[in-house]
Structure 1
Amino acid sequence: MAGRIREEDIATVREKARIDDVVSQYVTLRNAGGGSQKGLCPFHDEKSPSFNVNPARGFFHCFGCGEGGDVITFLMKIDGLTFGEAVERLADKYGIVLRREDDGFQPERPKGPSRRRLLEAHQAAQAFYAEQLATPDAIVGRQFLSERGFDQAAAEMFGIGFAPNDGRALANHLRGRGFGTEELTVGGLIGPSGYDRFRGRLLWPIRESSGETIGFGARRLFDDDRIEAKYLNTSETPIYKKSQVLYGIDLARREIGRSSQAVIVEGYTDVMACHLSGVGTAVATCGTAFGDEHSRVLRRFLNDHEEFRGEVIFTFDGDAAGQKAALRAFGGDQNFVSQTYVAIEPDGLDPCDLRIKKGDAAVRELVARRVPLYRFVLSNVVGKYDLDRADGRIDALREGARLVSSIRDKSKVDAFARELAGMVGVDPDEARAEVRRAANRRPGQDPRTPEAAPPPRTNVPDLRDPRFSIERETLKLVIQHPMTIGRLTSDIGPDDFTHPTYRAVWELVAAAGGPGAGAGDPGWATKLRDAATDPAVSSAISALGVEPLLKEPDAAYVTQYLVRLQELTVARRIGAIKSRLQRTNPVEHAEAFNKMFGELAALEAHRRALRDRLAGPA
């Protein structure tokens, strides 16, 4: 087995792999000033962005959940990779050749095939299927695409392929390329019996936002297909979780981030029709309803937060099934800060059929004619009743009120109640009263809970307490600009840091050789973080590594903070001695009293000198 990757090659990966480039495949980032970028955290659900990336330092940190680290750590956490797998993936992406030490080191091998091998198998399978689309056996598949307005260029754009009827064609092909049975079975490419999972079907590769294929969607083509289901999808695997997968996100993510708009359609061909018609923000779920996990994935790319609102547009058929889907989407409406809309073609056509019959412009117009989702849903509820009758209005009001009262986001309830009143034709106060009654009739209903539970009480003060601002700014300089601060810290020691976490950070710096040891080392912050054994200290280092400074530091800026840090230490020592002097009898303990008095005078002189340094030349 190969030995460990050489440290210099790992350092090269950290240097060459831009963390903002990697993170932006999973999160939409926007400039936050001070050289930092900000977005919604991919590791916890939040309404306001607290996830920060500092490209210059190669670090990320979430001030909401505390996750942080470098580009390797990010990939390990987001994709569940081992350290070696993350390094290898980045090396592949940036063209870095990794060398290994022949030291007999035997890395612990995780159970089952590695994520990297599963992805490689899917990449090879996608290429194989795409080649098969050009064979005579795939003529029915090509006709299917042609009838829906998709030419060869479209097929290539979306990577569409064909699975041969031969039940072992893919398995034999991939085994010939070195993949084992376990890798193909665990990845869902072949079944337990050894036969290909997909046979005689048109295939769409399902990809992560990074563009890596993780599964397939397969459309039935032949009448003698033993599986009646029109569409088959890859089963759950270590790399494919249908509740978190959005078809087309690899093509749509940049446009979603740019426009802050996402269009949710129902199928693969609808995604294709939208993109080819100029609606480049379209995505679809893969054989499952749009749920909370899909919302969380989408929000990261929308940059969907309280200070910046975008649009989420659902497209549904106008039939009963479409209305049911709209009602389900309305139930998850509060997952988004963005405004939610619904777009339904009056003739009941989905985007694919609409493009065939009326052209690209009609698809764009469909999206442009969107209406608020809540208005559509309430209209469907109210529309079931005869509003010319008093009892019809009462029934419509009651059912509509039950729907409005079910909304967890109570800030929207009053607006929806007014909308309901206008639809039914009653006074807004009457609608509000009915909504309150409906809420009281709902057993166990809780008011809207906060986004996250408050942290437990602790004796350790908050790192952002203003009392520790000088310590925090000084350590930000130490971590982010070790070359600038360099030897100027020779008079600084652990006693200058009163917060136990900041003191522990400084002790790690001192153990690593002081700030000067980090000069010119792109992995400086990572080394400090890796050396930390306390999670609180590790989190603090990543936070200090991404938080912007007040200005680009020069010698005067650095001196200002170092001197103020020392002045605070001297002030604490002065206060301690004054307290002891007050408790000491100058007659009974004359020697000790005089000694302390001398120390006090020396400290006062030292403080004046420090203040003079801050004031500068007269």
Structure 2
Amino acid sequence: MAGRIKEEDIALVRERARIDDVVGSYVTLKNAGGGSLKGLCPFHDEKSPSFNVTPARGFFYCFGCQEGGDVIDFIQKIDQISFHEAVETLAAKVGIQLRYEESGAPMPRSQPNQRPRLVEAHRVAAEYYAEQLFGAPEAMLGRQFLDKRGFDRDAAVLFGVGFSPRGGEALTAHLRGRGFTNSELVAAGLSADGQRGLYDRFRGRLMWPIRDAGGDVIGFGARRLFDDDKIEAKYLNTGETAIYKKSKVLYGVDLARREIAKGRQAVVVEGYTDVMACHLAGVQTAVATCGTSFGDDHARVLRQLLLDHDQFRGEVIFTFDGDSAGQRAALKAFEGDQAFASQTYVAVEPDGLDPCDLRLQKGDAAVRELIGRRVPLYRFVLSNVLSKYDLDRADTRIDALRDAARLVISIRDRSKVDAFTRELAGHLGMDVDQVRTEVHRAASRPAPAPSAPERGPVQVTTEPPPPPRVDLPSPRDQRFVIEWDVLKILMQHPRLVGASFDELDDQDFTHPWLAAVRTAMAKVGGPALAAPGEAWVVAVREAMGNDPAAAVVSALAVDPLRLGREPDEQYARAHVARLQELTCLRRIADLKSKLQRTNPIDRADDYNRMFGELIALERYRAELREQAISGAI
């Protein structure tokens, strides 16, 4: 057994393995100033980035979960391996040949570190399969498969597509010749152990290498080509190994990672050829799951790559077939929608074509247009729910309302509920208050009684339940951060806002408690008449009386601005403009929704009026954006 790794080699690994490069393979990092980088922590779920990396010092630290250390500690924690194994893993990545102490007590290890050897075995296998695709006569069917789907040799090389020989032992023999042991080949999932010895796990199939975000091949996806293939499954994937966990793997992430971070967009498609088609068509943010449905772990991977905490920038776009299976997949995706802070969308081709077939039949531009025509996921799901009912009949409209109300209350992001309720009312042609009442009733409907009285029907009250309890808004909640910051400036530096306060109203504050604080400020004369010091804070608090929202006032008074200098009028005005811009964005979205439901021929006057309003709002939003940018918020 090898002894301890030489200390100078460990130091060399720390020096050569740059922590920003290593961490950046798992997490998108953005400049946070002062030589620090920031991203979403890979060790716990969070909505706002609290994970910091300082390349100059070679350390990371998360202010949310308190995990920290150097690059070796990071690999230990992320891969759940020992210190010894982490050093070996990093050494293999940066090309350092480690030396071990032969004297003294050896490093206790329950088992050898397999990852470097398993990754190397997959690299060699991927090269071998790629050579076979264009070098072996029996790979003709594989080449024809790619050609029929519009993929030439360059595309195959870009994605590393290969072919596994039919013989049964070709790859095993090749890897043995490269020094890999039987146990390593079985552990890698490349070979299996039968009655007559080892044989190739994949035989006579078109092969896609599956890489992790860092570019290491960790598994394969294999497509059936021959009718006499004894394994009937069309696609066969690597089984669970020490380096391959299908619930955490996304095909194409190695190619898409940087574009996902750059464009704040991820497109989730259903298969390997769909990923290829999207990338070749210019949609370079496409990824796919590998033989399993999209799950929570996949969402975590995307969130870390998206730096998913800004609700106005990030997009996750799912592509589904338009059939019933695609609708079921959309419902499942909707159930996991809350995993993202980013907006989730659906892109469905009306003709039912997947991205690969769409590119083949209609060209690259059609694939780009498919993604461009995305619709919000909740709208797609809502349409599917309502399509089951005849909305021309009053009784079935009520049934549709009840069914859709359950969909509305399943949304954990409460800020979306009112917009969803209004949209539902528009689809049903019902009064918004009637729909809102049913949504409240669905949210608070009591459990049914154990038994009904036999003497008559159960009397059901028609009074709407009280609205659900509203919790204290968090300054870390990205939905309210601008609202919170504006009120914080008003509370701590009221004179900086001055007359700009009169441009605000309660509609600019989406959280009722924050709106209540603005109302209280107006009651005491607004910031232009604010008394100096704590008197202003006391006055606002007293104006709120026994309102539970008064608890927000103290928090606003003590929460630091995080500016690093004294704020000025430009800084305050920029925050007010950003808040007004968000209100304007909500109005624009509402107007676009109305336009979409308005027939431009039958209701030409209404349509033209709303279109004119939309143009004016877009101009106003652009003006507000310029003011916000001027303050560098």
Which residue number corresponds to residue 246 of structure 2?
242
- Looking at structure 1, the residues matched to 471 and 99 of structure 2 have their Cα atoms a distance apart, in angstroms, of 52
Q: How big is each residue's C-alpha offset from its partner over 1:445-470, in whole Å with a ceiling of 9 and x where there is no partner?
A: x9999999xxxxxxxxxxxxxxxxxx
Q: Secondary structure at the match of 1:69?
A: strand
Which residue number corresponds to residue 346 of structure 1?
350
Which residue number corresponds to residue 41 of structure 2?
41
Contact 1:167–1:195, Cα closer than 8 Å, also in 2: yes
AA in 2 matched with 1:236:
E
Sequence identity (%): 70
- The verdict on how the C-alpha distance between 1:342 and 1:61 changes in structure 2, with shifts beyond 3 A counting, is same
Contact 1:162–1:200, Cα closer than 8 Å, also in 2: yes
- Looking at structure 2, the residues matched to 31 and 72 of structure 1 have their Cα atoms a distance apart, in angstroms, of 22
How many Å apart are 1:241 and its aligned residue? 1.1
Q: 1:231 aligns with which of 208, 232, 235?
A: 235
Contact 1:34–1:549, Cα closer than 8 Å, also in 2: no
How many Å apart are 1:395 and its aligned residue? 1.4
- Looking at structure 2, the residues matched to 398 and 307 of structure 1 have their Cα atoms a distance apart, in angstroms, of 29
How many Å apart are 1:397 and its aligned residue? 0.9
Alignment partner of 1:317 is 2:321? yes
Which residue number corresponds to residue 159 of structure 2?
158
Alignment partner of 1:170 is 2:171? yes
Alignment partner of 1:251 is 2:258? no
- Looking at structure 2, the residues matched to 448 and 269 of structure 1 have their Cα atoms a distance apart, in angstroms, of 47
How many Å apart are 1:351 and its aligned residue? 0.4
Of residues 425-434 and 253-262 in structure 1, the stretch that sits farther from structure 2 once superposed is 425-434
Q: How big is each residue's C-alpha offset from its partner over 1:436-495, in whole Å with a ceiling of 9 and x where there is no partner?
A: 222334869x9999999xxxxxxxxxxxxxxxxxxxxxxxxxxxxxxxxxxxxxxxxxxx
Which residue number corresponds to residue 60 of structure 2?
60
Q: 2:205 aligns with which of 185, 201, 219?
A: 201
Of residues 315-324 and 94-103 in structure 1, the stretch that sits farther from structure 2 once superposed is 94-103
- Looking at structure 2, the residues matched to 85 and 451 of structure 1 have their Cα atoms a distance apart, in angstroms, of 44
- Looking at structure 1, the residues matched to 277 and 263 of structure 2 have their Cα atoms a distance apart, in angstroms, of 19
Which residue number corresponds to residue 140 of structure 2?
139
AA in 2 matched with 1:256:
I
- Looking at structure 2, the residues matched to 389 and 6 of structure 1 have their Cα atoms a distance apart, in angstroms, of 80
Alignment partner of 1:428 is 2:432? yes
Alignment partner of 1:414 is 2:418? yes
- The verdict on how the C-alpha distance between 1:141 and 1:442 changes in structure 2, with shifts beyond 3 A counting, is farther
Q: Tell me how large the CA RMSD over aligned residues is.
A: 2.4
Q: How big is each residue's C-alpha offset from its partner over 1:347-366, in whole Å with a ceiling of 9 and x where there is no partner?
A: 11110000101111111111
Q: Secondary structure at the match of 1:32?
A: strand
- Looking at structure 2, the residues matched to 138 and 201 of structure 1 have their Cα atoms a distance apart, in angstroms, of 9
Contact 2:172–2:199, Cα closer than 8 Å, also in 1: yes
- Looking at structure 2, the residues matched to 113 and 6 of structure 1 have their Cα atoms a distance apart, in angstroms, of 17
Which residue number corresponds to residue 185 of structure 2?
184
- Looking at structure 1, the residues matched to 316 and 344 of structure 2 have their Cα atoms a distance apart, in angstroms, of 5
Q: Secondary structure at the match of 2:199?
A: coil
- Looking at structure 2, the residues matched to 40 and 406 of structure 1 have their Cα atoms a distance apart, in angstroms, of 26
AA in 1 matched with 2:167:
D
How many Å apart are 1:93 and its aligned residue? 3.1
Which residue number corresponds to residue 465 of structure 1?
none
How many Å apart are 1:102 and its aligned residue? 2.9
Equivalenced residue count is 455
- The verdict on how the C-alpha distance between 1:307 and 1:324 changes in structure 2, with shifts beyond 3 A counting, is closer
- The verdict on how the C-alpha distance between 1:71 and 1:118 changes in structure 2, with shifts beyond 3 A counting, is same
**What are the within-5 Å matches in structure 2 for residues 542-557 of structure 1?**
none
Which residue number corresponds to residue 266 of structure 2?
262
Task: Please report the TM-score for the alignment, with normalisation by the length of structure 2.
Answer: 0.69
AA in 2 matched with 1:21:
D
Q: How big is each residue's C-alpha offset from its partner over 1:310-341, in whole Å with a ceiling of 9 and x where there is no partner?
A: 00011111111111111111111111000111
AA in 1 matched with 2:224:
R
Q: Secondary structure at the match of 1:192?
A: strand
- Looking at structure 2, the residues matched to 390 and 9 of structure 1 have their Cα atoms a distance apart, in angstroms, of 77
- The verdict on how the C-alpha distance between 1:307 and 1:221 changes in structure 2, with shifts beyond 3 A counting, is closer
Q: Secondary structure at the match of 1:202?
A: strand
Q: How big is each residue's C-alpha offset from its partner over 1:415-437, in whole Å with a ceiling of 9 and x where there is no partner?
A: 21221111111112222222222
How many Å apart are 1:31 and its aligned residue? 0.7
- Looking at structure 2, the residues matched to 136 and 450 of structure 1 have their Cα atoms a distance apart, in angstroms, of 69
Q: Secondary structure at the match of 1:172?
A: helix
In the alignment, structure 2 segments of 5+ residues that lack a partner are 449-467, 475-561, 566-633
Q: How big is each residue's C-alpha offset from its partner over 1:146-170, in whole Å with a ceiling of 9 and x where there is no partner?
A: 1111111111111111111111112
Contact 1:44–1:65, Cα closer than 8 Å, also in 2: yes
AA in 2 matched with 1:131:
E
Contact 1:309–1:337, Cα closer than 8 Å, also in 2: no
**What are the within-5 Å matches in structure 2 for residues 527-538 of structure 1?**
none
- The verdict on how the C-alpha distance between 1:170 and 1:441 changes in structure 2, with shifts beyond 3 A counting, is farther
Q: Secondary structure at the match of 2:250?
A: coil
**What are the within-5 Å matches in structure 2 for residues 286-297 of structure 1?**
286-297=290-301
Q: 2:216 aligns with which of 202, 212, 215?
A: 212
Contact 1:34–1:550, Cα closer than 8 Å, also in 2: no
Contact 1:207–1:250, Cα closer than 8 Å, also in 2: yes
AA in 2 matched with 1:41:
C
Q: How big is each residue's C-alpha offset from its partner over 1:498-524, in whole Å with a ceiling of 9 and x where there is no partner?
A: xxxxxxxxxxxxxxxxxxxxxxxxxxx
How many Å apart are 1:83 and its aligned residue? 2.1
Which residue number corresponds to residue 94 of structure 1?
94
- Looking at structure 1, the residues matched to 103 and 162 of structure 2 have their Cα atoms a distance apart, in angstroms, of 45
AA in 2 matched with 1:268:
Y
- Looking at structure 2, the residues matched to 159 and 430 of structure 1 have their Cα atoms a distance apart, in angstroms, of 57
Alignment partner of 1:128 is 2:132? no
Alignment partner of 1:221 is 2:225? yes
